[in-house]
């Protein structure tokens, strides 16, 4: 939902969490078919768009320094793509990204920022694009952008461009843990390919009505990139071991291509207590208690 400001429009760019991620052998074009259950957290970045003659981007916040060497990041690419799709090259905006999510963390931060830019500029420029059309535009920017445009519990398939919102999925209390190590997607997929993976297997039905049903569904699946990520980044294994041993943790798994991991708890209070324990023991890590949103 957009928040209209006195001088512009604001959009939230939530962290994307892959509760499951099945990956198949690379296709002839180099892309991997995948099947993933994706949800979004109530923790993320923020984008503000204000009227301007030019199209510019300023980055601030705790994680701004991680993007200082990326003058043409996904937010600007999204803005250029939207302007081109509208056929309105004269459109401008002053964009401000407040960066809170860790970078190269398996949380879809860049893709979610790009998706939020598409939504916020559609509102600012008063364009007549539906979410489905914005997702199509987003697919030219990155494989995760379409699902982030919808920003709701969904099944992501194809190479990421096929997004099917879930009819029934509960909100889940969770803890997202980032061990402070950046882990780029490319090397993880290359390590995955070295193990000669097979074709993508048929996925199960993705639906659940409550926490226990969701846990049963998730326990029957996995993240196929977890093993190669552990080999490349030992901190991933350390984070998963730590989450698994937390009191009240029901399930622990890596998100996306890592290095962020998550654990699901019975209550948000339990997740908050565990986050406090981890921050005392690992002050250089990021531990965020969150609610992973269900179907909108």
Active centre residues (catalytic) = 16, 144
Residue of 70, 16, 21, 72 lying closest to 45 (CA atoms)? 16
Nearest one of 174, 175, 43 to 98, comparing CA atoms: 43
Using only the alpha carbons of the chain, give its radius of gyration: 19
> Among candidates 143, 202, 121, which has minimal Cα distance to 18?
143
Question: Quick one: which of 167, 173, 168 has its CA closest to 208?
Answer: 168
Query: Tokens 């977890």 label which residue?
Result: 226
- Bond prior to 52 in cis (omega within 30° of 0): no
Residue among 260, 258, 226 at smallest CA distance from 243: 260
Owner of token pair 């531990």: 287
| Number of neighbouring beta carbons within 10 Å of residue 66 | 17
> In 10 A of CB 216, how many CB atoms?
10
d(CA 118, CA 83): 10
């Amino acid at each position: 939902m957009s928040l209209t400001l006195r001088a512009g429009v604001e959009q939230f760019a939530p962290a994307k969490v892959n509760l499951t991620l099945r990956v198949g052998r690379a296709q002839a074009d180099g892309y991997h078919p995948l099947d993933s259950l994706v949800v979004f957290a109530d923790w993320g970045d923020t984008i503000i768009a204000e009227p301007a003659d030019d199209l510019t981007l300023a980055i601030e916040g705790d994680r701004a320094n991680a993007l200082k060497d990326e003058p043409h990041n996904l937010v600007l690419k999204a803005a250029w793509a939207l302007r081109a799709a509208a056929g309105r090259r004269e459109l401008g905006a002053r964009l401000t990204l407040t960066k809170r999510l860790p970078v190269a963390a398996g949380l879809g931060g860049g893709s979610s920022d790009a998706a939020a830019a598409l939504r916020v500029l559609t509102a600012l420029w008063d364009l007549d694009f539906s979410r489905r059309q914005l997702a199509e535009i987003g697919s030219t920017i990155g494989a995760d952008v379409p699902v982030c445009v919808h920003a709701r519990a969904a099944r992501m398939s194809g190479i990421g461009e096929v997004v099917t919102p879930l009819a029934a999925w509960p909100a889940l209390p969770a803890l997202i843990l980032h061990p402070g190590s950046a882990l780029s997607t490319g090397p993880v997929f290359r390590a995955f390919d070295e193990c000669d993976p097979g074709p993508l297997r048929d996925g199960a039905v993705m639906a659940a009505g409550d926490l226990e049903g969701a846990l049963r569904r998730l326990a029957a699946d996995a993240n196929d990139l977890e093993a190669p990520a552990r080999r490349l980044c030992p901190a991933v294994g350390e984070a998963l071991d730590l989450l698994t041993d937390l009191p009240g943790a029901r399930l622990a798994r890596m998100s996306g291509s890592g290095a962020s991991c998550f654990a699901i708890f019975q209550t948000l209070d339990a997740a908050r207590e565990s986050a406090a324990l981890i921050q005392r023991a690992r002050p250089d890590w990021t531990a965020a208690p969150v609610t992973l949103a269900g179907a909108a």
